[in-house]
Structures are given as C-alpha cells and as structure tokens.
Chain A
C-alpha cells in the first residue's frame, strides 16, 4: 500500500495527474486497506453509530490489476450503498405481488440460482450483515482486476 501511495505522489510530482485525481486515488488506496480509518478523506465521525449491527455501508470496489493499469482500459469503481437502503429494498419485496415473485424466482432458477425471493426478511438481512461484517469478498478477475465487497 505504501508503494501505491508513493507511486501516486510521484505521478503528481511529474504532473501526470492533477491534485484532484491524486486525492481520489489516495482515498481509493485508503479504502482498500482492511480496517482503514479514511485518514480524513471522508466523513469519519458518524460511522457505525446509526446502525444496529454497527455497519453503515456496503462497499464494492473494483481496482485494475497491474497488467490492466498499464493497458488502455483501466477502470476503477467505487460504490457505497447505505445499509438502510438495502433494508428498505428488502421491505419493498413484500409489496411485490406473489405472482411476480414467482416469475422472478423462476427467472433466477433458469439462471441456475436456487433462491426464493419471497423468503427474504429484514431480520435475515441483519444476521447476514452481522455475518458478513468480518468477511471480505475478494475476487481476482481474469484481467488482473480486483473486486472487493465488504461492509464498513
């Protein structure tokens, strides 16, 4: 990680990137660190306060691998979804008429996903969030990109 920071600062020094881009890249590097403290890049104050499980956001980050970074199409994705939005979304499933839920389940089954949407309950989400709290899903893509899914 220290190497990444150094590389970013060197790029800034050589004026290959702007201050704004360096700021964002440093933020992304911080975000990648397990148990990162954000180092003042973003809101640090109210984290883990409003949520029952202590986790406020679901984060999905995609960072290009070294091979991709030097290629033509490096792509960075950084998505932060509030847990409360997920909860509200789960509640929304209770408003979907049963016949449409059946259709959705059938479509999932056709794609090989054996999952019953009608059985998702907000309480289940709580236990899922608690379980995922210590888990970090790390996927290395075939082009060297790294996909991370975690809660914070």
Chain B
C-alpha cells in the first residue's frame, strides 16, 4: 500500500538568503485527514445528492486521484543550480 510522503526538504540559496528546512508533511496530511473525517457526513451527502447528475462519481474519482497523486509525490526531486542561486526540493 502506498503511503503519503512524510517530509519535504527545501533548500534555497541566493546572495540575499540561504536557508533550508524540512516540512513535516505527515503532520499536514494528518491535519487534513482529521478535517476530512469531520466533514465526511457532509461530503457523503454531497456525493449522494450529486450522484444522479454524474458529478458524484466525479467527486469520488477526484478524491481517489487526489490521494493517489499525494502518495506518488514520494521520491520527487527538483534541483536547480545557478552560480549564485540554488533551489532544491525533495519529497521523502
């Protein structure tokens, strides 16, 4: 089973600033899941009401694909280096 990414490492370097930080994605994902859980009855109601129009199926698909995309972010790496500027983003 695929799990959402845990951390994101961001490093930015330019003549004015130089910093790097780790984003605790697991905390953000946990927070979003808690909110979604709280909103679940409303979401289910919206899906049921929208089902005859075809948008209900779309909403289910959007949730599934959104979650799949979130889980797939693991391993993404962007590293751009210029002589005086560096941008590095890594999702683990």
Contact = CB atoms under 8 A, between A and B. Distances in A.
Contact of A82 (B76, B79, B82): B76
Interface string B54-92: 000010011001001101111111111111000000000
Interface of A: 24, 56-57, 72-82, 84-85, 87-89, 91-92, 94-95
Interface of B: 2, 58, 61-62, 65, 68-69, 71-83
Contacts of A82: 72-76
Nearest to A91: B65
Contact of A79 (B68, B72, B77): B77
B77 A78 contact: yes
B78 A95 contact: no
Question: Is chain B's interface secondary structure helix, strand, loop, or mixed overall?
Answer: mixed
A57 B71 CA distance: 14
Contact of B83 (A57, A74, A79): A74
A91 B68 contact: yes
A60 to B, nearest CB: 10
Question: Is chain A's interface secondary structure helix, strand, loop, or mixed overall?
Answer: mixed
Most A CB within 10 A of own CB, among B61, B65, B75, B77: B75
Nearest to B82: A75
A87 B72 contact: yes
B69 A92 contact: yes
A73 B85 CA distance: 10
B72 to A, nearest CB: 4
Contacts of A88: 65, 68-69, 72
